[in-house]
Amino acid sequence: MLYLCIRPITTDYWAYYVNSSVCGIIGSWLHCGYHLTTAIVAPALLSLPFALALLGWEGGVTVLALAGIITFYSYNLLSLVLEHHAELGHRQLRFRDMAHDILGPGWGRYYVGPLQLGSCYGAVIACILLGGQSLKFIYLLARPDGTMQLSHFIVIFGSFTLILAQIPSFHSLRHINLVSLILCFAYCACTTAGAIYIGNSHKAPPRNYSLTGVGINRIFGFFNAISIICTTYGNGIIPEIQATIAEPVTGKMFKGLLVCYTVVISNYFSVGISGYWAFGNQVDSSVLQNFMVGSNPLLPKWFLLMTNGFTVLQVAACTLVYLQPSNVVLERRFADPKKGQLSARNVVPRLITRSLSVIIATTFAAMLPFFGDIMALFGAFGCIPLDFILPMVFYNLTFKPPKKGLVFWVNTVIGVGSTGLSLIGAVASVRQIILDARTYRLFANM
pLDDT at 442: 66
Indicate the residue type of 415.
G
Instruction: Tell me how far apart the alpha carbons of residues 436 and 189 are, in angstroms, rounded to a whole number.
Output: 31
Pure H helices in 233-300: 238-242, 252-279
Q: How many CA atoms lie within 13 A of 39 on its CB side?
A: 34
CA-CA distances (angstroms) from residue 368 to 27, 133, 151, 260, 380? 37, 12, 10, 31, 18
What is the number of H-type helices and E-type strands within the chain?
18, 4
CB 228 within 8 A of CB 52: no
Paired residues of 245 in beta bridges: 27
Q: Cβ–Cβ contacts within 10 Å for residue 9, how many?
A: 12
pLDDT at 314: 93
The pTM (predicted TM-score) of the whole model is: 0.87
Listed residue (65, 4, 77, 30) closest to 264, CA to CA? 65
CA-CA distances (angstroms) from residue 45 to 49, 192, 261, 371, 380? 8, 12, 14, 12, 16
CA-CA distances (angstroms) from residue 65 to 72, 265, 272, 280, 326? 11, 9, 11, 20, 31
Listed residue (8, 7, 12) closest to 97, CA to CA? 12
The answer for residues whose C-beta is within 8 angstroms of residue 155's C-beta and 6 or more apart is 132, 362, 366
Can you point out the beta strands (E) in 166-234? none
Sign of CA dihedral 221, 275, 283, 235: negative
CB 207 within 8 A of CB 279: yes
Listed residue (242, 233, 234) closest to 79, CA to CA? 242
Q: Angle of helix 48-87 relative to helix 95-102, nearest 10 degrees?
A: 60
CB 337 within 8 A of CB 13: yes
Instruction: Tell me how far apart the alpha carbons of residues 186 and 182 are, in angstroms, rounded to a whole number.
Output: 6
CB 88 within 8 A of CB 106: no
pLDDT at 6: 34
Instruction: Tell me how far apart the alpha carbons of residues 41 and 234 are, in angstroms, rounded to a whole number.
Output: 9
Indicate the residue type of 294.
G
Greatest alpha-carbon pair distance for the chain in Å reads: 66
Instruction: Tell me how far apart the alpha carbons of residues 441 and 445 are, in angstroms, rounded to a whole number.
Output: 9
Cα Rg of the chain, angstroms:
21
DSSP 89: T
CB 338 within 8 A of CB 346: no
CB 125 within 8 A of CB 377: no
The answer for residues whose C-beta is within 8 angstroms of residue 41's C-beta and 6 or more apart is 181, 184, 260, 263, 264, 267, 268
pLDDT averaged over 10-residue windows placed end to end, the chain, 446 residues? 36 44 59 90 88 93 94 95 88 87 90 88 88 90 84 93 86 86 93 94 85 80 84 87 83 92 95 94 88 84 92 92 86 74 77 92 82 65 87 94 93 93 80 73 65
CB 275 within 8 A of CB 205: no
pLDDT at 140: 86
